[in-house]
Amino acid sequence: MTTLTNEPTMKIRVLERTDLKNIHIINNKAETMRLWFEEPYESLDELTSLYDKHIHDNTERSFVIEANDTFIGIVELMSIDYIHRTCEIQIIIISGFSGKGYAQKALKTGVDYAFNTLNMHKVYLWVDIDNAPAVHIYKKLGFKIEGTIKEQFFAGGRYHDSYFMGILKSEYTQREKAIK
């Protein structure tokens, strides 16, 4: 099992088939999936089929976040483009574990993997403009708002505006050097 980070209180590792039950629980929470701009309520069979379909897909990387050996979320690199060297990052921390620094650490680990392992040039994300805690974390890690997209996603019975945010490898590297 590949582990990206193994701190005393948090571990980030590659998603395995045995994790799908936990992912299924997340995917069936409407309030959580609204933040990911995705439809909730997929079956475990559907999720397993998607896992099987994408297990060897080089355009996605999925990692499980654990705190004290308890599943607390997932961080994913999506739409990995090896020509333009860009990818999207997304993260979900389950309720009860948010506000404790896990999202920031996991997101930083995912961005670091994108830049230093996959040699991406840019990492980007979409976020609901009303999700202030997430926007705060993204800005803290160096992401910049590159645009506001009006009524980009439909979730929870209405359309939501979103920010398109990104960070370049050069910005990330410069920021990391300044921190050390």
User: Residue 164: its pLDDT value, please?
Assistant: 98
Find the catalytic residue in 113, 138, 163, 172. Answer: 138
> Catalytic site residue 172?
no
Tokens of residue 8, six digits: 């005393």
151's CB contacts (< 8 A; 6+ apart) are: 159, 160, 161
164, with CB counted inside 10 A (0-12, 13-18, 19+), is middle
Round to whole Å and give the CA distance between 117 and 96. Answer: 31
User: Residue 106: its pLDDT value, please?
Assistant: 96
Mean pLDDT by 10 residues, the chain (180 residues): 70 90 69 55 67 78 93 95 98 88 95 98 97 96 98 87 98 91
**Total count of domains within the chain:** 1
CATH number at residue 158: 3.40.630.30
User: Residue 35: its pLDDT value, please?
Assistant: 57
> Which structural domain, as residue segments, surrounds residue 90?
3-179
User: Residue 143: its pLDDT value, please?
Assistant: 99
